[in-house]
Amino acid sequence: MKLLITGGAGFIGSNFVIYMLQQHPDHQIVNVDALTYAGNLENLKSVENHPNYTFVKADITDVPAMDALVGDGVDVVVNFAAESHVDRSILEPDVFVKTNVLGTQVLLDAAKKHNVKKFVQVSTDEVYGTLGATGLFTEETPLTPNSPYSASKAGGDLLVRAYHETFGLPVNITRCSNNYGPYQFPEKLIPLMISRALADGALPVYGDGLNIRDWLYVEDHCSAIDLVIHKGVLGEVYNIGGNNERTNVHIVKTILQELGKPESLITYVQDRPGHDRRYGIDPTKIMTELGWKPKHTFETGIKETIRWYLNHKDWWTRIQSGEYQKYAEKQYGSR
């Protein structure tokens, strides 16, 4: 089986490439990534010489490039490539629409033209909008995205759905909750707080810190996508999550405790505009229909993750320069 993984140099994509080469050493993996600020080939050092792995630098909005890649015998396209950070989408929505909507459509066209066996769209629970104090997102929850990021992901998802309904393209859409683990870019909550706490810097918690996210260790997301590729029923959506709802301030306090740093580092700052209050995934469908089960609890996963960041300081300090620095200045000012 030949898989085209888009965005495989990012956080989840690189974990997925490594996972798949371990689980299915006979699968051929082509990783296409534009290497934006979030793409980092260092993540893939351990597999760069694997005989069944190749990397191609290209943009998913590039029609001839995607046509050539998909046309070269690809069986399955797995689309991770995206602009992924909500705060950036508030500062600069245009690139989110370009990559997450137009890029998805370009890939869908290539997949249709070359009759791929499956197109897997890696999406997010954020397309469902926000929950109140009770209830969970199911696959039937209406899409009511609230940020430019989630709206652009919903746009991509709707095109995937439309290519299935209109052209019969064999597709699956997965919608996972917040991921954490190795190689997550240090703009996202958990690695940001770890790196700032280690530098004894202020930890910027938005609003009252009581917004809730449902956390999943990245390897468990990878195993779910692997199952969807091999067993997912064509045309179906699968929600992915491990029932690990936590408030943001709980996460930050856990990190401080693990690192032996004081809670006085917590600094409550202005809330994110349109900040979704609560996410919670109902994973019943993927668990009962495909037999998926997460391996990590939040308590073990967060400890492993903190240990990883402590042991890979070089990886994230190198990132905290250049392009990221410009964004950080816009987002955090001189703090």
For ligand NAD, the binding residues (CB under 6 A) are 6-7, 9-13, 33-36, 38-39, 59-61, 80-84, 99, 103, 122, 124, 153, 176, 178-179, 185
Decide: is 79 part of the binding site for ligand TDX (CB under 6 A): no
Nearer to ligand NAD, 124 or 147 (CB): 124
11 binds, among ligand NAD, ligand TDX, none (CB under 5 to 8 A by kind): ligand NAD
Sign of CA pseudo-dihedral 146, 223, 74, 232: negative
Q: How far is CA 275 from CA 69, 94, 129, 146, in A?
A: 38, 19, 10, 8
CB 46 within 8 A of CB 71: no
Q: Which of 27, 161, 272, 285 binds ligand TDX (CB under 6 A)?
A: 272
List of residues 6+ apart from 1 with CB closer than 8 A: 24, 26, 27, 28, 75, 76
Quickly list DSSP for 62-92: -HHHHHHHHHTT-SEEEE--S---HHHHHH-
Least CB distance to ligand TDX at residue 213 (A):
5
Instruction: Return the H-helix or E-strand segment holding 172.
Output: strand 171-176
Decide: is 126 part of the binding site for ligand TDX (CB under 6 A): yes
202 is written with which tokens? 């202020």
Least CB distance to ligand TDX at residue 279 (A):
7
Decide: is 178 part of the binding site for ligand TDX (CB under 6 A): yes
Least CB distance to ligand NAD at residue 78 (A):
10
Measured distance CA(106)–CA(79) in Å, rounded: 11
Decide: is 189 part of the binding site for ligand TDX (CB under 6 A): yes
Report, as residue numbers or ranges, the catalytic residues.
125-126, 149
Residue 201: CB atoms within 10 A of its CB come to 15
Least CB distance to ligand TDX at residue 309 (A):
14
Decide: is 253 part of the binding site for ligand TDX (CB under 6 A): no
192 binds, among ligand TDX, ligand NAD, none (CB under 5 to 8 A by kind): ligand TDX
Helix (H, G, I), strand (E, B) or coil at 49: coil
Binding site for ligand TDX (CB under 6 A): 84-86, 124, 126, 178, 188-189, 192, 204-206, 211, 213, 248, 272
